[in-house]
Amino acid sequence: MTSELFSPLALRSGQVLRNRIAKAAMEENMAADGQLPGQELFGLYRRWATGGTGLLITGNVMVHAEALTGPAGVVLDENAPLKPFTEWAEAGKAGGGAIWMQINHPGRQIGSDMPGVVWGPSDVGVDLGRHSSRFGRPVAMTPEQISATVTRYAVTAQRAQEAGFDGVEIHAAHGYLLSQFLSPLVNKRTDAWGGSLENRARMLLDVVRAVRAAVSPSFAVAVKLNSADFQRGGFDADDARQVIGMLEPLGVDLVELSGGSYESPAMTGRRTDSRTQAREAYFLDLAKDLVRTSPLPLMLTGGITRRETAERVLDSDVAIIGMGTALSVTPDLPDRWREGRETEGRMRPVTWSDKALASAASMAQVRHQLRRIARGDRPRPGTHPAVALLAEQRKQRKALRRYRAWLPARDTV
């Protein structure tokens, strides 16, 4: 009997995913010159595409050239050449699965050493204690800037479809711009975008409407949403339930549930909520609660590394399981599961007491493995987190010099 893991899933757009296993977005920060996808990303996605996943979701692609999550972020706006993105889409389909582009604006979560803009719903900065100065001080967006940003999402989605991607995922989690608007801790506005949850969700809903109007009905549109922010007084599971209900009439195919932000990085497994103490599937308890009332299929990401865990998640009526770190260690893990095998190893745990530094080191460890896979090398999950972090910092300094030279030479709005 075939496991549900390997059964197809039909979405409301008409797209059919060949199985229930997705490569969830990870922030690769591996752009080539010009903030474009290049050989590294092509090689990485080709490797994943031939490893058995039904769906690949790219790391976040920036909708605004002046607002990047990191200096090696990929930008797809009205000025970007389309050919590199066409190659990326082709690499992602090499194994017969689908590829969606995650599209994002970081809002206030932008490094203080980055050029460009630092925007937010309000002028509330990222609070990381003694690390707070690593982020720029945000200015509250004007209604005109909000409207222009909504349009940017639609332009990026339309161009992603033109390049051959099968869908987009709008990133409204992990403390990025749309998540900031949803959060009562960050959104202190008193106009049409602040106050009630309906107002705080306004920008996300406008983005979804604009994207859906810009692409064909057969093109998938998904949303990544926090099941909770894991901060007292922040966006919580009841808010998530209501937002999912608001998304249902807008032609959304799927909602991916995650959790946390830079201030409370639950998505890296440093869990702070009593309901998420499980070593794997961090957000499963919250997902079980949300799936009971959700009118849309849900995807769950966070800490899934074993087939038994994946099947337990699907048994909870979650439609798709998403994996990130596990596929950076074992890129063909879905094919292994089909053959009754498991992952080759686990990432070396980061046990540092400094939460912000530990989160940065965890991400650096993942990127270290991604670069190895992109080169055709085997992953080395035992790499020391300090070694990975130092190597990543060197690469990012080089990327920052490139980005600083590139941005002023470009027509930006």
Class of domain 4-345: alpha beta
The residues near 148 (Cβ < 8 Å, ≥ 6 apart) are 413
The confidence score (pLDDT) of residue 413 equals: 44
Single out the residue of 49, 45, 44, 41 nearest to residue 18, CA to CA: 49
> Encoding tokens for residue 34?
């010009």
**Dist. CA 353–CA 251, nearest whole Å:** 43
Tokens 């030279």, located at residue? 405
**Dist. CA 317–CA 319, nearest whole Å:** 6
**Dist. CA 387–CA 310, nearest whole Å:** 31
Start-to-end C-alpha separation, the chain: 56
Strand partners, 101: 168
Is residue 329 a contact partner of residue 343, using CB atoms and an 8 Å limit? yes
Listed by start position, the domains of the chain span 4-345
Cα torsion through 61, 70, 24, 84, rounded to 10: 40
Q: What is the pLDDT along the chain (413 residues), one digit of tens a residue?
A: 346 999 999 999 999 999 999 999 999 999 999 999 999 999 999 999 999 999 999 999 999 999 999 999 999 999 999 999 999 999 999 999 999 999 999 999 999 999 999 999 999 988 877 878 889 999 999 999 999 999 999 999 999 999 999 999 999 998 999 999 999 999 999 999 999 999 999 999 999 999 999 999 999 999 999 886 666 778 888 999 999 999 999 999 999 998 766 655 555 554 444 433 344 666 788 888 899 999 999 999 888 999 999 999 999 999 999 999 999 999 999 999 999 999 878 888 898 998 888 888 999 999 999 999 999 999 999 999 999 999 999 999 999 999 999 999 886 44
Give the phi and the psi of residue 184 in degrees, each rounded to 5: -70, -15
**Dist. CA 396–CA 402, nearest whole Å:** 10
Is residue 154 a contact partner of residue 214, using CB atoms and an 8 Å limit? yes
**Dist. CA 287–CA 281, nearest whole Å:** 10
Give the phi and the psi of residue 29 in degrees, each rounded to 5: 50, 50
The confidence score (pLDDT) of residue 132 equals: 81
Single out the residue of 168, 276, 184 nearest to residue 219, CA to CA: 168
The confidence score (pLDDT) of residue 393 equals: 94
Amino acid at 255: V
Considering the entire predicted model, what is its pTM? 0.94
How do beta strands 74-75 and 61-62 pair? parallel
Is residue 193 a contact partner of residue 200, using CB atoms and an 8 Å limit? yes
- Report the chain's C-alpha Rg in angstroms: 19
**Dist. CA 160–CA 73, nearest whole Å:** 16
Strand partners, 172: 225
The residues near 174 (Cβ < 8 Å, ≥ 6 apart) are 224, 226, 258, 260, 261, 262, 267
Is residue 95 a contact partner of residue 50, using CB atoms and an 8 Å limit? yes
